[in-house]
Amino acid sequence: MGSKTISVSDEAYARLKARKKPGESFSDTINRLTSRKRLSELAGVLDENDIRVIEKAVTAIRSQSKDRIRELIAEMSE
């Protein structure tokens, strides 16, 4: 496996270092932070309270969207 040398700002380095886990190389950290997660890998990330908060927010947004669509349809019908 090859390697590349890159330059990052002091701030970027500090932020990356803060996200680095013990025993993890910077390459490992970058790969972990930039990889796409499968949905199955996210199982258990949210607790029940988080789920309820998200569900309420989604329900509210959907309701607002439906109301706005009805308003627009009514305006177009006038």
Q: How far is CA 52 from CA 2, 42, 60, 65, in A?
A: 46, 17, 12, 20
Q: What percentage of the chain reaches a pLDDT higher than 70?
A: 100
In the block, which residue shows the tokens 């789920």?
A: 51
Please provide the average confidence, as pLDDT, over all residues in the chain. 92
Segment 16-48, tens digit of pLDDT: 999 999 999 999 999 999 998 777 777 788 888
Helix (H) or strand (E) holding 52: helix 48-77
- The DSSP secondary structure of 6-21, one letter per residue, reads ----HHHHHHHHHHPP
For the chain, give every domain's residue range. 8-42, 46-78
